[in-house]
């Protein structure tokens, strides 16, 4: 796996030198800043009439803006990972180099996952701001960030797979957006299906909204960990097989 680090550093550098990266980071921080401001203002105006939810719970689990950001963020981040190299022809030199397919896939995935984590890092300042005016449950906050990381990691793995299946960045973006949107809509079915039905069971198992509500409340359910572990491992495995197919024709 010695070839992992050169590819990882190359991909990470290639992401942050593109204008798209800084546009995504700027939009992400602006939306999250507005999101945080509106929530804090709402809690401040509500006063004693506020619900038993904390601002951390509301920020991470109970507004559509969190999922909208993921939907807009993940497809552009992953669309170029393999599709760009396949379109430009540089994938052939990579495949003939003395690097293993798992190293290539894991390096590209780790680079985009690092970038995703770096985007979320500045939002930790929101907790510092909250701490100055109220108590912050740091355990629940850590759990919420774990949830955000796992949901993003699963979506990014699907995006990497979609990029590996096509040589068109635009098509990779569209396919990833459809997968992310499909998983979210399927999860929303938890709230519109009757409890006890098979559809409700499936919807509640994949519902990112329900998952994030649990994480934001400080609940780390092993079923959630297994689900997102599967959402990461399976797409990466299929991507490795796709890369092997290119290598061996």
Angle, in degrees to the nearest 10, between helices 4-16 and 101-120: 40
CB 98 within 8 A of CB 2: no
Confidence of residue 117 (pLDDT cuts 50, 70, 90): very high
CA distance readout (Å), 176 to 38, 129, 226? 30, 35, 22
Task: Name the one residue in this structure whose structure tokens are 């599967």.
Answer: 230
Q: What is the pLDDT of residue 51?
A: 58
Instruction: Please name which of 10, 19, 156 lies closest in space to residue 77, comparing C-alpha atoms.
Output: 156
CA distance readout (Å), 163 to 109, 175, 176, 206, 233? 11, 9, 8, 23, 16
Confidence of residue 35 (pLDDT cuts 50, 70, 90): confident
Is the pLDDT assigned to residue 72 strictly greater than 80?
yes
Q: What is the pLDDT of residue 48?
A: 46
The pTM of this model reads: 0.91
Is the pLDDT assigned to residue 230 strictly greater than 70?
yes
**Structure token digits, residue 2:** 């010695």
Integer distance in angstroms from the first to the last C-alpha of the chain?
23
Q: What is the pLDDT of residue 86?
A: 80
The better pLDDT of the pair 58, 112 is held by 112
Distance of alpha carbon 164 from alpha carbon 238, whole angstroms: 9
Mean local confidence (pLDDT), 100-119: 93
């Amino acid at each position: 796996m010695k070839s992992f680090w050169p590819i990882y550093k190359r991909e990470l550098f290639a992401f942050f030198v593109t204008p798209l990266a800084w546009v995504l980071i700027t939009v992400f921080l602006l939306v999250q800043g507005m999101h945080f401001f509106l929530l804090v203002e709402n809690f401040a105006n509500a006063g004693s009439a506020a619900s038993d939810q904390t601002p951390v719970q509301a920020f991470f689990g109970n507004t559509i803006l969190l999922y909208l950001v993921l939907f807009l963020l993940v497809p552009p981040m992953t669309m170029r990972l393999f599709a760009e190299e396949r379109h430009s022809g540089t994938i052939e030199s990579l495949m003939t180099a003395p690097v293993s397919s798992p190293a290539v896939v894991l390096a590209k995935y780790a680079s985009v996952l690092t970038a995703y984590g770096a985007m979320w890092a500045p939002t930790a300042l929101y907790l510092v701001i909250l701490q100055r005016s109220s108590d912050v449950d740091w355990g629940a906050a850590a759990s919420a960030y774990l949830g955000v990381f796992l949901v993003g990691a699963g979506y990014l793995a699907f995006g990497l797979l979609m990029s590996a299946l096509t040589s068109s960045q635009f098509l990779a973006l569209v396919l990833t957006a459809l997968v992310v949107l499909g998983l979210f809509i399927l999860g929303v079915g938890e709230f519109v299906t009757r409890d006890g039905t098979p559809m409700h069971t499936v919807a509640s198992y994949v519902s990112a909204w329900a998952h994030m509500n649990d994480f934001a409340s400080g609940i780390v359910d092993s079923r959630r960990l297994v689900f997102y572990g599967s959402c990461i491992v399976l797409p990466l495995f299929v991507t490795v097989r796709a890369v092997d197919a290119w290598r061996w024709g």
